[in-house]
Structure 1
């Protein structure tokens, strides 16, 4: 994804019309990909090149007329290749789109991304009410599409890049590699961050905490599948319970702080759970340092995630919410860290790690 800033100021009516229509096409493309993902059409085409609509429908247990319309749309958008010389027409999923849509181990994988927007759009009436009166829609309400999307999108980065990235930071590699080290993973979701670290550091034990019970179920199943249950414990709990599971030599909060209704209380609890010399690493979106109107693609995407998913989740709490949102700027994190008893966050020298920036927080 490009992070260049484009001029979005004062477009003419004709220019905005063209851009807005392109946005409509992109939205339709994204949601058609959701159908291909959830109905198993992409996976089936990857396994059976040159398929007709009837063949695809029969193998996937779906309706042939809808399958044909989807296949033709995918070809019209340039995702599938259509052999119009054959009778009936056959369709093939090329290697490039297949990697992005289906390869869960590839850093290019985005196949689960449409699920996040589908999860939100399913709750548009509730979101409209929240936008008018306050409140929000919780992660639990967003359901399987949202939790599975986030878990699947982060997994290839955690699997292949997380341990090597941390190994290059001596202050993190050293405690992780110490025999008997205890490590906390707050907001662990589907557990892929915890599992990746457990596999890389077999002498350490890890506690993953997440308030979403279904995510914890996923994490336990994933840990069992990769044989790291002896090193990992997953708990359904709020981050404020961290001291009850400590002390920890190191703590992590991967892409979750901006979702929390009371991030300062969670940061304070993590600080209390740390053993002497312990530190916290926060991984969050690598957005611009300040708001300045027209923004790069990353900031624009994060505002979309914030408006439709993360901010409503953080605002859904029964108690007053910090209302952080996905666009967590370094100045905001610095303010939260100071109130929680940490020194000024230090940006770690970890680059080109998806959309993320890593911060080190050390107790004062």
Structure 2
């Protein structure tokens, strides 16, 4: 059935209802994600994890949180289908499979980091909207400690449990070189978890973590001290000019970083200069396809949102190209070839959300 609206062409009534349902579903999902963020932030998922059915009073007592807030959160999570509700016994239960994902901080399957990223990104939505009109963007440092924490929570477990044992091991020559003793630069190291994981695994190699953000480097140094790993690594806050001159590296790693840069080709050219003749640049980037139509899925929508509210806007804020989160393999290959590299390989590593590249002279 078609309906007519003044000044518009006739529209399908069923399609209007369909799109109204989609908007409501997206709004509901946003609120559910917000409630899930609260569950991760306050420890409510931990409270419920592995406990089986719990009464509301049990949850309130065990969590130590404010009763009225806990009550409303529990009911909201039931409606969002995060919690199971037994109407006869009035109990709430977190399925073990969901606890595996949301009450597992520090593991390679923890999804709470993504939840932590949402408030941080959406808090700058008014400023991003203004940038649509007036240009510019939101600099990285304006996301503050919340931004650093969200990135840390998203990546730490993955780096600690997969970086060496799976990702680097997929490159036997690199793995053997580091075992024997090599030099490694972790460019854009953030809070240093990838650097620390490598330094712990390869005692004979030397590692430098480089990042321009002083708060991230301060946390990286603290993480190194807490882990007792200071003998074969050093964290440097600054740019390439802050490295000792004349250094060459057998491995250069850069994790979820290239697409954020203000001068990606210039940085890659410098990495090419710093790489030893038989060295490798290991690049980690978000997993998206080159074709827009292949990205019409929940991960594609998530990554384009992250691009607008974080990755792209911070590059544009500094006068960069704003490559954004969804660069894709062809875009990355074009950048590395412009920088002077000749070898570009997409590594066949299993991951739902990440692409891995090996780049060589």
Q: Is residue 283 of structure 1 aligned with residue 284 of structure 2?
A: yes
Give the superposition deviation at 1:90. 4.1
Deviation per CA, 1:118-171, whole angstroms, max 9, x where unpaired?
101112221111121111112221123322222222222222222123223223
Distance in 1 (alpha carbons) for counterparts of 2:337 and 2:314: 24
Match of 1:42 in 2: 45
Unaligned 5+ residue runs, structure 1? 1-9
Query: Is the Cα contact below 8 Å between 1:182 and 1:206 reproduced in 2?
Result: yes
Q: How many residues align?
A: 348
Write the distance in 2 (CA, Å) between the matches of 1:333 and 1:242. Answer: 25
Compute the displacement of 1:39 (Å): 2.3
Q: Does the CA-based 8 Å contact 1:241-1:269 persist in structure 2?
A: no
Q: Which moved more, 1:338-347 or 1:182-191?
A: 338-347
Q: Give matches, 1:242-261, under 5 Å.
A: 244=245, 246-261=247-262
Q: Which runs of 4+ in 1 moved over 4 A?
A: 47-61, 239-245
3-state SS of the aligned residue for 1:345? strand
The residue number in structure 2 matching 1:213 is 214
1:103 to partner: Cα distance: 0.7
* Matched position secondary structure for 1:183: strand
C-alpha contact 2:236 2:242 (8 A) present in aligned 1: no
Structure with larger RCO (C-alpha < 8 A, sep 6+): 1
Mark the CA change 1:244 to 1:324 in structure 2 (over 3 Å): closer, same or farther: farther
Give the match for residue 306 of structure 2.
Answer: 305
Distance 1:200 1:354 in 2: 25
CA contact (8 A) 2:207 2:234 kept: yes
2:179 matched residue in structure 1: 177
- Tell me the CA shift for residue 221 of structure 1: 2.7
Are the structure 2 counterparts of residues 96 and 292 from structure 1 closer, same or farther at C-alpha, using a change threshold of 3 Å?
A: closer
- Which ranges of structure 2 fall in alignment gaps of 5 or more residues? 1-11
CA contact (8 A) 1:242 1:270 kept: no
TM-score by length of 1: 0.86
* Inter-partner Cα distance in structure 2 for 1:356 and 1:294: 14
Farther off after superposition, 238-247 or 21-30 = 238-247
TM-superposed CA distance for 1:307, in Å, is: 1.3
State how far apart, in whole Å, the 1-side matches of 2:191 and 2:246 are: 19
Taking a change above 3 Å as real, the CA distance of residues 41 and 253 of structure 1, as seen in their structure-2 partners, is same
Q: How much has 1:264 moved relative to structure 2? A: 1.4
> What residue number does 2:264 align with?
263
Paired residue secondary structure (1:266):
helix
Counterpart residue number, 2:353: 355
Please name the residue that 1:25 is paired with: 28
Q: 2:17 maps to which residue?
A: 14
Q: Secondary structure at the match of 1:194?
A: helix
CA distance in 2, matches of 1:287, 1:339: 21
Counterpart of 1:74?
Answer: 77
Q: Which residue of 2 aligns with 1:3?
A: none
Contact 2:236 2:243 in 1 (8 A): no
Judged with a 3 Å threshold, the aligned counterparts in structure 2 of structure 1 residues 239 and 22 are, in CA distance, closer, same or farther, namely farther
CA contact (8 A) 1:254 1:283 kept: yes
> 1:235 and 2:226 equivalent?
no
The CA distance in 1 between the partners of 2:345 and 2:152, in whole Å, is: 26
User: Structure 2 length normalisation: TM-score?
Assistant: 0.87
